[in-house]
Each structure stands twice: as structure tokens, then as C-alpha cells.
Amino acid sequence: LTADFREVEKAAKNIEKATRKAYQLEYLTQARPLADVTFLATARTLLEEAQTEFAAQRYFVAKEKAKAAEKLYKAAEKLYEAQAPALLAIAGERDELRRSALEAPYKAQEELYKLERELEYYGNDDNRVLELQSVAQALLARGQETNPQVPAYGYAEAAKEVAKAARHLIAAARGF
């Protein structure tokens, strides 16, 4: 069973993107560490697993695990932005961000709904999927509990990315 060039290229590209996100987040958090981010260890593990799967020539699984790691790093980046209101105050002047901020909780809920449907349909053998689902639900709830001075946008975006990561793990487990 030989993999075609596109599959190999996609897996390598996704591993590279996840690695870049990891380094970007590491650089950002040098000045001010992230608080209450429990899923970064999972992201690191997934990236290592993706590299191992790639070396074993299981390219689809490598690609999906790398995508999951990238989404988790992206979620951490969104939380970093949410915990740094000065960054959002500058960016908040743009109209598209205001619109995105209003849509973010609904998009996160939609992603969680898709995750729940995939869990029902495909099942799950990986406990990390359920952990990520509960993290996403907690982030969404936390974003809705925050006071009006702190934008919920970052929490909702992080919840959406964590739910996407869980969906990529399901895809990696099922193999398509």
C-alpha cells in the first residue's frame, strides 16, 4: 500500500504548521504565561504522535493528529488574546472583529454540536476526545460568564478550536 505524493505532502505540511504554532505560542508566553490551559500537554503529545505516525508512513493519521495539535495551539493563542485585553482593545476597533465577536459563541456551539454527532455516530476509543469535549464546553461556559469588560470572543474561539481538535482525533481514529 503506497501513499500518493499529495497525502505525504499534506501530512508533512500539517506537521510543519503545528510545529510553527507551537513555537509561536512558546514565544508569546515567554513574557506572560498562560493561565489555566490544561490542554497544552495534549497538544505536545499529539504533535509527537503525528511525527511518529509520519515516520511509520501512516500519513492520514499523522495529518489528522497534526491538525488536532495545531487547533489546540490555536485555541491557546486565542486564550492568550482573551487574557490580554489590551491586544483586543486595539483589534476591537475593526468592524469585522466586532461581527466575529458576536458570532463566536454560536460557531463554538455549532462545532460542539458536530463533535457530539460524530461521537454518537462513529464512537470513540480515545479518552482525549472526551477530555477535549469537556474543555471546549468549559471554555464556552467561561466565556459566557465573564463580565462585560472582558470580551468572551477569545474563550468562544478557543472552545471552537478545541472542539475541532477533538473532531480531528476522531477522524484519525476512524482512518478516513
d(CA 102, CA 32) in angstroms, rounded, equals 27
CA dist., res. 50 & res. 21, Å (int)? 15
Using alpha carbons, select from 156, 133, 138 the residue that is nearest to residue 82. Answer: 156
Mean pLDDT, the chain, integer? 86
Residues with Cβ < 8 Å from 121, sequence gap 6 or more?
none
Chain position carrying cell 499534506: 10
Instruction: Summarize the confidence of residues 118-138 as an average pLDDT.
Output: 92
Is the predicted pLDDT of residue 160 greater than 60, yes or no?
A: yes
Q: Is 173 exposed, middle or buried (0-12, 13-18, 19+ CB in 10 A)?
A: middle
Q: What is the pTM of this model?
A: 0.85
Q: What is the pLDDT of residues 62-111, one digit of tens each?
A: 999 999 999 999 999 988 887 765 554 444 444 455 667 778 888 999 99
pLDDT exceeds cutoff 90 at 22: yes
Cα separation, 13 vs 8, whole angstroms:
9
Q: What was the pLDDT predicted at 58?
A: 94
pLDDT range class, residue 18, cuts 50, 70, 90: very high
